Structure formats: C-alpha cells, structure tokens
Amino acid sequence: MSVTALTKDSFQEQIQNGVTLVDFWAAWCGPCKVQMPIVEQLSEEMKGTASFAKVNVDEEFEIASRFGIAGIPTMILFKDGQAVDKMVGLTPARAIQAKILEHASN
C-alpha cells in the first residue's frame, strides 16, 4: 500500500515537493471507509505522477484544524507545499484522477 499515514511531524515534508493528495478521514466515518480503497487504488495506478497520504483527523486534530476540515472525507491536493484543490465528500476515482493530472501537468 502506498498511502502514507501522516502526523504533524511528517506532514510538511510529505507535501513539500510535487503533487500530493491528502485524504482526511476517521475510523468511525462510513464514507471514509468507501473512499480509502479508491485512494489506495489510485496510489497504485498513478505512481510517479503524485504521492498519496492520509491524515486521521481524530489523531491529528492540529493538521485538520489548520486546513479547516469540517466534514470528512475531505481530500486536499497539494502542489509543492501549497493547497491547490479540495474535494469534500465521497469522490469518484476518475474525478480525483482528473484533478491530479490537471495539477501534475502544470
């Protein structure tokens, strides 16, 4: 599995270079359990195009509040350390892939 679990100590380093999709989730969240396998599959399909990471909002409240995560699942797309896109709610694989490709080609 190539989705990296992030903590406040590893977060900044992970998003610093290239395109990174960060999935904000929680163990008790039903839609998050549906979203995670989609993110994991994309991480395999898009190796070399983008990095994939996840943040448990219950364990890493600081990160979640820093990015204003109000509902989960929420995915934020970062490019070279900057948030460039945000997807809230259950998002289909092709929609995520399209956003990643849009930012990876810029």
Q: Which residues are catalytic?
A: 29, 32
Q: Which helix (H) or strand (E) holds 104?
A: helix 93-104
Q: ∠ CA(51), CA(6), CA(40), 5° rounding?
A: 45
**What DSSP letter does each residue of 6-52 carry, written as one string?**
--TTTHHHHHSSSEEEEEEE-TT-HHHHHHHHHHHHHHHHTTTT-EE
2 backbone dihedrals φ, ψ, rounded to 5°: -115, 35
Q: For 4, which DSSP code?
A: E
